[in-house]
Amino acid sequence: MEYVPEPVINGFTIAANQVADLSGMTVEAPAAFLPKIAVLWEARDIIHPASLATGLLTMVLIAALRRAWPRFPGLVVAVSATSALAVLLNLPVETRDGR
């Protein structure tokens, strides 16, 4: 680990922190990267499909809109569209306010 730059370690740690939110899991995971991955792997049975699908669709829309129209505010449109879709389809997704 001493040869891995600090920004790389921080990037992986931040990404690991987001996995639980993206997949709708509510688990208490340790701060260290490898133990966190182990806890998330053990809790994989509680992945919430609607949350995961909404998050992945949002990421795909962001990437597609950036590629098609780089100057277009694709992030705002993608988040708004998938949020509206979740409300219209009455998907049981957890929000930040619901925590």
Residue 1 is predicted with a pLDDT of 60
Residue 97 is predicted with a pLDDT of 64
Residue 76 is predicted with a pLDDT of 95
Kindly give the confidence (pLDDT) of every residue in the chain, 99 residues in length, as a single tens digit, with 9 standing for 90 and above. Answer: 678 888 888 888 888 888 888 888 888 888 788 888 898 899 888 888 998 999 999 999 999 999 999 999 999 999 999 999 998 998 887 766 665
Residue 21 is predicted with a pLDDT of 83
Q: Which of 57, 96, 98, 97 is nearest to 80 (CA)?
A: 57
DSSP string over 65-94: HHHH-TTS-HHHHHHHHHHHHHHHTT----
pTM of the complete model: 0.76
Q: Are 93 and 86 in contact (CB under 8 A)?
A: yes
